[in-house]
Amino acid sequence: MIAPGKVPAQELAVLKRRLREHRRFRQKQLQDLADPSQDRRTAAHVEIQASLAAAAHQVLSNIEVASTRMNTGQYGSCQQCGRPIDLQRLRIVPHSRYCARCHHAEDTRRAAIEPTGSQKSGGSGEDGCWSR
Ligand SMILES: [Zn+2]
């Protein structure tokens, strides 16, 4: 029997691989953003690149946390409420730190304190790859 809230070993292996793919993708993205041949003639370009880089850094830090939690057996539980994160959600965003409920609450909180428009640029870094 699988203990509730625990990610099955087989599933964990798949998610581990995905996590590595995400990490590679983000590292490549940061390299590209740091490329001096990139177009950054306008202030808008610089701003967009800065927010992309910030989002990539945020995702990378989430990936590191997820990877550590995989090694310590804590992976798959919400860092906010401790409840198991939906496996479906982990398959889409393997570096999710929060369950869908806490993630939504966090987004609402951010939207309330940040000026309009900025919460979509970086967000919590959770769903970055998929919203663009
Ligand atoms: Zn939660």
Other beta carbons less than 10 A from residue 78's beta carbon: 19
* Interval between CA 82 and ligand 1 midpoint (Å): 6
Asked, for residue 36, whether it belongs to a domain, the answer is yes
Output the pTM of the full model: 0.75
* Interval between CA 84 and ligand 1 midpoint (Å): 8
* Interval between CA 106 and ligand 1 midpoint (Å): 10
Look at the chain and report how many structural domains it folds into.
1
Number of H helices, E strands in the chain: 5, 0
Query: Which structural domain range is residue 53 located in?
Result: 9-116
Q: What share of the chain has pLDDT > 70, as a percent?
A: 80
pLDDT band for position 13 (cuts 50, 70, 90):
very high
Asked, for residue 4, whether it belongs to a domain, the answer is no
Asked, for residue 77, whether it belongs to a domain, the answer is yes
> CATH number, domain at 13?
1.20.120.910
* Interval between CA 27 and ligand 1 midpoint (Å): 28
* Interval between CA 19 and ligand 1 midpoint (Å): 20
Asked, for residue 122, whether it belongs to a domain, the answer is no
Give me the DSSP letters along 118-131: GGGTTTTSSSHHHH
Question: pLDDT (tens digit, 9 = 90+) per residue, 59-109?
Answer: 999 999 999 999 999 999 999 999 999 999 999 999 999 999 999 998 899
Closest CA to 48 of 28, 29, 66: 29
DSSP letter, residue 4: T
Other beta carbons less than 10 A from residue 18's beta carbon: 16
Asked, for residue 126, whether it belongs to a domain, the answer is no
Asked, for residue 67, whether it belongs to a domain, the answer is yes
